[in-house]
Structure 1
Amino acid sequence: MMAYIKAISYYLPDGVVTNEDLVAQFPEWSVEKVAKKVGVNLRHVAADNETAGDMAENAARRLFSEYNIDPKSIDFILLCTQSPDYHLPSTACILQDKLGIPTSSGAFDYNLGCSGCIYGMALAKGLITARIAQNVLLLTAETYNKYLHPSDKSNRSIFGDGAAACLISNDGIAEIGNFSLGTDGSGAEKLIIKTCGARQKQPTGISTVDAEGHICFDDYLYMDGGGIFNFTLEAVPAMMKDILKRNDVKIDEVDYFVFHQANKFMLDTIRKACVLPKEKFYINLEETGNTVSSTIMIGLKQCIDASTIHKGMNVMISGFGVGLSWGGTVLKF
């Protein structure tokens, strides 16, 4: 049995931080500098009382409304988030009740970042092909801005909050191919929040300076930008070759590429390193920023609505980042 994407929607919170807002706080920057390097003009930020669960709920309700989906037809919920509403229970369990999904459905959260959408599609495909579920609601939602220190101008320029929802079933608009997945936990500290988990429950207030001169706060998100960049340039080309091999597809048979929207500079470098045509390569962070696990589904939705992606196309999707982890597949529309 095959698995298909049947519908996609997304939600962005009302709060917005523009480049002008950031430059007002960090006058050593210019609006043009932020836009050119990062590729973001504005990013949506969740309200203080707005959680990843709230955003996932909104994305799911949009999906149901836009595609006339009956919540009672859902028999499994997967929620990818690194900012759950509670340590326990799983936010997916709460969403089952809020969304009116049957109690006979399975539901759980899984903790992944930039590759989370891909891993979720792999899980959903496994549930469907094993006949455990028929209609899987895949949700991705993240509020990284709640984890950023106010003085962290670099990450504040990159990350936006948002959520996406996808219905994966045994029929639909895009057949989900075979997956290439990978993990390298030796790089875990390249993108990390060190405190408030079981390893270190209490905030430490400790900060250090890394090799690039960035302040690293134990109690807030830290990203080794150079380390993540080098990892990506090493992992993505090899992953692309493996995706093509696993799906028995040649590079010139791929009509479009939708990769995790990390930042414009990284995406431009990946495209050039992999020798991919600019017209086949999706880059659009201008009004969303890096929404972590939701970037790929947001990109797919935007491309489908604009008819950039349409029936008859092979589309490669891939995610890479925190973990360190990576993954990808080919969608056949």
Structure 2
Amino acid sequence: MMANSPYSRITGTGSYLPANRLTNQALADQLAARDVETSDEWIAARTGIRARHFAAPEERTSDLAVHAARRAIEAAGIDPQSIDLIIVATSTPDFVFPSTACIVQNKLGITNGGAALDVQAVCSGFIYALATADSFIRSGLHRNALVIGAEAFSRILDFNDRTTCVLFGDGAGAVVLSGSDEPGILASALHADGSHADILCVPGNVNAGVVAGNAFLRMDGQAVFKLAVNVLGKVALEVLEKAGLSAESVDWLIPHQANIRIMQSTCRKLGLPAEKMVVTVDEHGNTSAASVPLALDVAVRDGRVQPGQLVLVEGVGGGFTWGASLLRM
């Protein structure tokens, strides 16, 4: 067993978006060919989304993850072979098995035999993965973790359903989390309530070589909205209380980028000015487990998020799952 590090800290961030950027108008034009009516105004007014990116037919979730991972590793300035834990949060894995994390490990050429696993908590996946990696590092089992959120949600969208197909996009975000003598992950809180599984799900599985059930995403939008607004405010306050800090001390709020109205509600509940919230949903859409690390990397690279600042990240997704972490950058 390695020597214990009392804390873990983010040392590098990275992200990747597929080349195919699809505006609301371009998507509306494509849907019109299916006799599905929507418009840029309809989508933007309800969600805040203006565009999203879709993976090319030959791109897999692992490919998106690898691009983001390489950028995070470069930013951290470490040897990839020193990464002894890879966690990929995804609801759209390359295969039933092996895990996407194992595929990413191979594509990155990491041959040290470190652990690799997937986490499935849908849009909360990155928060779950980050808290898991933090626990592993603080236990002394691992020293450097690569934590990735990556999704190809375009593969599970029903393009005859305008209430869902306009919401989601593809992409990946990654962080390198390393053992540290200085606290980086100050507090985390994870929750789930499986009694709400049916309000956001893909109710299908592989049985006898074919899909049994429905392989497309299904969502009760009003139920999801109501639950998300309720739990996100509560879990944000929970992690602040765990860390012994107040909302006023938060420099940046990075919520799951699902819907601008949900995000604004959380910001108001915390009493934070809108200028302290990182927003990428307009350009990325809802990228599920990728949305928080994508937004974090954007804000790090454009200079908004600075070393030493306090960042609150949170997510909510199917399961029903939700969680938050408080980060010292």
SS at match of 1:179: strand
1:280 to 276, 294, 304: 276
Unaligned runs of 5+ in 2: 1-5
Q: Which moves more between the two structures, 296-305 or 64-73?
A: 64-73
| Deviation, structure 1 residue 67 | 4.3
Unaligned runs of 5+ in 1: 205-217
Partner of 1:325: 321
Partner of 1:193: 202
2:255 to 253, 256, 259: 259
| Deviation, structure 1 residue 66 | 4.4
**For the structure 1 residues 167 and 309, does the alpha-carbon distance in structure 2 shift closer, same or farther, using more than 3 Å as the test?**
same
Instruction: Confirm whether residue 94 of structure 1 aligns to residue 103 of structure 2.
Output: yes
| Equivalent residue runs for 1:205-220 within 5 Å | 218-220=214-216
| Deviation, structure 1 residue 99 | 0.9
Structure 1 runs (4+) greater than 4 angstroms displaced = 197-201
Partner of 2:20: 15
Deviation per CA, 1:238-271: give whole Å up to 9, x if none: 2122111111101212222111111112222332
Percent identical across equivalent pairs? 32
| Deviation, structure 1 residue 30 | 2.9
1:291 to 283, 287, 292: 287
Deviation per CA, 1:53-112: give whole Å up to 9, x if none: 111112222333444432111111111111111111112122222211123211111212
Instruction: Confirm whether residue 233 of structure 1 aligns to residue 224 of structure 2.
Output: no
Instruction: Confirm whether residue 243 of structure 1 aligns to residue 239 of structure 2.
Output: yes
Instruction: Confirm whether residue 142 of structure 1 aligns to residue 151 of structure 2.
Output: yes
Q: Which moves more between the two structures, 195-204 or 148-157?
A: 195-204
Q: Is the CA contact 1:63–1:69 (under 8 Å) kept in the aligned structure 2?
A: no
- TM-score, structure 2 normalization: 0.91
| Equivalent residue runs for 1:15-94 within 5 Å | 15-24=20-29, 25-26=31-32, 28-94=37-103
**For the structure 1 residues 252 and 62, does the alpha-carbon distance in structure 2 shift closer, same or farther, using more than 3 Å as the test?**
closer
Q: Is the CA contact 2:206–2:212 (under 8 Å) kept in the aligned structure 1?
A: no
| Deviation, structure 1 residue 198 | 6.0
Task: Compute the RMSD of aligned alpha carbons.
Answer: 2.1
CA distance in structure 1 between the partners assigned to 2:315 and 2:114 by the alignment: 28
Partner of 1:209: none
Q: Is the CA contact 2:197–2:319 (under 8 Å) kept in the aligned structure 1?
A: yes
Q: For residue 46 of structure 1, what is the amino acid of its counterpart?
A: A
Q: Is the CA contact 1:137–1:165 (under 8 Å) kept in the aligned structure 2?
A: yes
CA distance in structure 2 between the partners assigned to 1:248 and 1:274 by the alignment: 15
Q: Is the CA contact 1:22–1:153 (under 8 Å) kept in the aligned structure 2?
A: no
**For the structure 1 residues 67 and 241, does the alpha-carbon distance in structure 2 shift closer, same or farther, using more than 3 Å as the test?**
closer
Partner of 1:125: 134
**For the structure 1 residues 64 and 251, does the alpha-carbon distance in structure 2 shift closer, same or farther, using more than 3 Å as the test?**
closer
| Deviation, structure 1 residue 299 | 1.4
Q: Which moves more between the two structures, 260-269 or 193-202?
A: 193-202
SS at match of 2:204: coil
**For the structure 1 residues 86 and 23, does the alpha-carbon distance in structure 2 shift closer, same or farther, using more than 3 Å as the test?**
closer
Q: For residue 319 of structure 2, what is the amino acid of its counterpart?
A: G
Q: For residue 192 of structure 1, what is the amino acid of its counterpart?
A: C
- How many residues get paired? 320
